[in-house]
Amino acid sequence: MGERVEAWTAPAGRTREMRTRSSSGKVRAALADVAAGWLLPVAAIAVWQLAGSLGWISPEFLPTPAAIAAAFADLAANGGLLQHLGDSIRRAGIGFVFGGGLGLALGVLTGLFRRAEYVIDPSAQVLRLVPHLAIAPLIILWFGFGEVSKVVIIAAGSFFPMYVNVFLGIRQVDNKLFEVSRTLGFSRSKRVSRLILPSATPQMLLGLRTSLAVSWIGLVVAELIGSTSGIGFLINEAKQNGQPAVIFVGILIFAIVGKLLDSAVKAIERRALKWQDGYKG
């Protein structure tokens, strides 16, 4: 006569409590990671402020964090800072859309078709090695000092990271997957949409992240040459007027906005690539 064994299940209240503890533990771990990331910058700023207050560093050479914060508050109160920031973001966005979009299209084309690679890739690789500063004067000579030249400079920089990563992502798809698709009788369009592009997504997202970063960096080059608005113009004007604190404000804005853009793309990566089982460290 067999014994009846009943599975024990935790009460609903106990289960809810365990979930709450687990979520709170995750929150504490996330806060600890954030605190660790801020430890070094906060310590550097404290030492910097102390050195400036004691007169160890000349304010004309390196203004204190307090002086930079005061310059930021003054610019924000005057209303000019938001206008300059808006102009910079608009230029970077338009340049990225044109450059990154073209890089995506040509990367897919050369990745899928070998004949297109023979025609496009050699020229693209040669142009990729030309620095921004080398072509910026030529672009200004062609398009003048208006908005078009700035957008072209940004687009030229954002094109290549997207193009290269999309091309490599498609070419690095495991060939065994193609053999499986032939066995299953996939059409070419189905093979591209369900096999190639999903497999190339990690590399394509890397291209998106790098292209956005280069767009933001290219914006500095574009605005430092013949601009009348934007954060780069603000930096250039502060250099001419001998205002190092304002220069640091511009640099910090470039750094903060660039970090926010990078973090946004990283969040998209985590959501889109949850299926990847990678090393977390």
Q: Please count the other Cβ atoms lying within 10 Å of the Cβ belonging to residue 209.
A: 20
CA dihedral 160, 165, 170, 176 (to 10 degrees): 150
Contacts of 262 (CB under 8 A, 6+ apart): 209, 212, 213
Q: What are phi and psi of 54, to 5 degrees?
A: -85, 0
Closest CA to 139 of 119, 125, 157, 123: 157
pLDDT at residue 81, as a whole number: 83
Asked if pLDDT for residue 265 goes beyond 50, the answer is yes
Closest CA to 245 of 63, 92, 100: 63
pLDDT at residue 97, as a whole number: 93
pLDDT at residue 50, as a whole number: 87
pLDDT at residue 25, as a whole number: 63
pLDDT at residue 107, as a whole number: 92
The one-letter code for the residue type at 193 is S
- Confidence band of 101 (pLDDT split at 50, 70, 90): very high
> What CATH number has the domain spanning 65-272?
1.10.3720.10
pLDDT at residue 224, as a whole number: 78
- Confidence band of 1 (pLDDT split at 50, 70, 90): very low
**Percentages of the chain per state (helix, strand, coil), in multiples of 5:** 80, 0, 20
40-79 pLDDT, tens per residue?
888 888 888 888 888 888 777 888 888 888 888 888 888 6
pLDDT at residue 173, as a whole number: 82
pLDDT at residue 22, as a whole number: 59
Structure tokens at 54: 């004691």
Asked if pLDDT for residue 279 goes beyond 50, the answer is no
pLDDT at residue 147, as a whole number: 84
Residue whose structure tokens are 């771990």: 29
Contact 177, 226 (CB under 8 A): no
- Confidence band of 5 (pLDDT split at 50, 70, 90): very low
